[in-house]
Amino acid sequence: MSVTWESTTSHIKADVIILGCSLPGIVTAHKLKKKFGNTVDIVVLDLTGSVASGSKCNVTFQEEEGENEDFVHKGTAKELIDNVGRHFIAVYAKEFNIPVPDAIITPEKGKTALNKLFEYKTGDTVDCKQDFHDFDYLNIFENFELNQYQTLLDQYMRELFQANNIENVSERHQLMYFDQTTMEQHICNALIFANSKDIMRNIVRVVCGAPASVVSLLFYLHQCYRTSSARNHLDGNNTKLREKLLGYCRKRIASKLQKSVANITMPAKPIKKISTYSDEQVILRTFKGDTNYVCSLLAMAMKPDELRHIEVESQLLYNSEVEITAAMKQGKAKKFLIQYEDCFWQRYGYSGDILSVRGPIIWAMERPTMSATGSLEKYAALIGYLTLKENDDEDSREAVIKQLVRLFGADAASPVSYRETDIADIYVPRCGDFIGLRRLTRKFQPGYLEWGALDIFGDGDVAAALEAGHTAYLHLMSCLRPQALTYEEISAVEWPTILSEGPLRKWLAQFTIKSSLRLAAYTAATYVVLRLLRSYIRK
């Protein structure tokens, strides 16, 4: 039955309903509409008043519509294959002819011979001629254990996200371990030295937008998977960091997608209950009960806090999924932008890239040129993340300037302007990354409900939102018409497929300083016990 927009009846029926106009939701709707046209009834429900505006970091670079439309980055498969995030941004930029600066798609082109700065908790600084993740400034033991730990994380990532199926009991136990263990516990169990621990905590906060104590290991590994490695997050050239920080693509891509699904989008009153009838249809009931929505397949594209006000029938949402969803708490990150009259740091041989475990700046870089016309910014600027404490609403201007003076000298004392922005569209799954971990366990039940947005932690992370929408589309297609899926659509979410290591490297990754000391202790204890037994037998 086709949807009649002017209908005054109490039931609106469709084959597929997407609940929510988040970025993953409209990606799902756009892909389905493009695939089926008018042959399948698809409806997007816009929950009026429930969709919060995106963070202010997502409105950079807004030139007039139609200007410089030939600026789209034409990346090759070789350039994009090592990064899931780049792939999804490039695909939609090409489809909608949206200009994407090279600073996002090919950040390696901005490599410079200028030094980067690392700051210890003591305030001591080290110049880094290479990338931050090389950690040349650490002593030999700190360097060894940090590299071993990152190699171990890479190995975990490959085993989890490149497994075709998880049938082995031990693998399922391993999956549960990742799902229930916080990143902080894992860091403390694997690392000895304070510097190594502080660096990893910093990496987690920058990558996930939250401290290691509230991020599950599985969630962190998924972020590593999206950029191919645990080693590619602190060199200032990471696509995900720039894209999340600058948010160049979100507003323009979302605008294009909303236009493409405008004729199948309708305003809806708040939903009170989601239930099922004979396990064949999903029914969405509104608070006032004047309109109900009925469909065969439902794609949820809401934030976790929006779901808390909706009663979902147990057949549709298992208790384990309820617990995971309830544990998704809204996080908070803070970015800063400080402008100067000129790039004085370059005169002293610095690129402007900062990594600090002392704070208040956690990570910063020189703001890249974001103009498609090639025009120059009036002022030089540094942009980055700040440490954020609980209930911390005070401006960090004085502390930031004091830190920059400590790093770059007196020239940093007189900025032209300073601005801080809260990034509030962050949700961290404390107990897991995917609802039901569908991609890992291959559990496709119940088959008539798909979560389109709960496997990402922030709508402001454009690539993650696009990927989540694409994943939801794939699952809906597998229910509607699996034979219509193309190889390109399926392979997109299975990247990177080139990650592989030999058994020797996998075995060596297990040897850390902590595991070696533990092995030595066990060996010594065994030796002592054997000597005592031998002595006892002789007597």
What is the per-residue pLDDT for 531?
83
What is the per-residue pLDDT for 277?
76
Adjacent-strand bridge partners of 418 = 338
Tokens 């090279």 appear where? 102
Pairwise pLDDT comparison (62 vs 365), residue with the higher score:
365
Are 59 and 247 in contact by the 8 Å Cβ rule? The answer is yes
Are 14 and 293 in contact by the 8 Å Cβ rule? The answer is yes
What's the whole-number mean pLDDT along residues 389-401? Answer: 78
What is the per-residue pLDDT for 59?
31
Pairwise pLDDT comparison (237 vs 384), residue with the higher score:
384
Sorted by where each starts, the structural domains of the chain and their CATH numbers stand as 11-55+262-327+432-492 (3.50.50.60), 108-131+329-428 (3.90.660.10), 139-234+509-539 (1.10.405.10)
What's the whole-number mean pLDDT along residues 45-65? Answer: 47
Asked if the model's pLDDT at residue 223 lies above 60, the reply is yes
Mean pLDDT of the chain: 76
Pairwise pLDDT comparison (371 vs 42), residue with the higher score:
42
Q: Where are the extended beta strands (E) located within 101-197? A: 115-119, 125-128
What's the whole-number mean pLDDT along residues 153-162? Answer: 80
Express the helix, strand and coil content of the chain in percent, nearest 5 each.
45, 20, 35
Asked if the model's pLDDT at residue 57 lies above 60, the reply is no
Pairwise pLDDT comparison (272 vs 438), residue with the higher score:
272
What is the per-residue pLDDT for 7?
46
Pairwise pLDDT comparison (190 vs 228), residue with the higher score:
190
- Top mean-pLDDT range of 74-83, 315-324, 430-439: 315-324
Residue type at position 529: V
Give the pLDDT band of residue 58 (cuts 50, 70, 90): very low
Are 363 and 202 in contact by the 8 Å Cβ rule? The answer is yes
Asked if the model's pLDDT at residue 171 lies above 80, the reply is no
**Percent of the chain with pLDDT strictly greater than 70:** 71
Residue 389 DSSP class? -
What's the whole-number mean pLDDT along residues 351-362? Answer: 89
Give the pLDDT band of residue 520 (cuts 50, 70, 90): confident
Sign of CA dihedral 311, 313, 316, 317: positive
What is the per-residue pLDDT for 433?
44
What is the per-residue pLDDT for 505?
66
Give the pLDDT band of residue 82 (cuts 50, 70, 90): low
Asked if the model's pLDDT at residue 3 lies above 50, the reply is no
What is the per-residue pLDDT for 64?
34
Angle at 69 between CA 89 and CA 460, to 5 degrees: 30
Asked if the model's pLDDT at residue 204 lies above 80, the reply is yes
Give the pLDDT band of residue 324 (cuts 50, 70, 90): low
What's the whole-number mean pLDDT along residues 317-341? Answer: 75
What's the whole-number mean pLDDT along residues 358-365? Answer: 88
Task: Describe the strand order of the beta sheet including 125-128 as a list of residue ranges.
Answer: 125-128, 115-119, 350-356, 361-366, 380-386, 329-340, 417-428
From 68-82, 441-455, 460-474, the region with the lowest mean pLDDT: 68-82
What is the per-residue pLDDT for 408?
93
CA distance 537 to 531: 10
Asked if the model's pLDDT at residue 166 lies above 80, the reply is no
What is the per-residue pLDDT for 50?
43
Give the pLDDT band of residue 68 (cuts 50, 70, 90): very low
Cβ partners under 8 Å of residue 278, min gap 6:
none
What is the per-residue pLDDT for 461?
74
What is the per-residue pLDDT for 491?
73
Asked if the model's pLDDT at residue 291 lies above 90, the reply is no
From 62-76, 101-115, 432-446, 462-476, the region with the lowest mean pLDDT: 62-76
What is the per-residue pLDDT for 61?
35
Pairwise pLDDT comparison (118 vs 464), residue with the higher score:
118
What is the per-residue pLDDT for 193?
92
What is the per-residue pLDDT for 76?
43
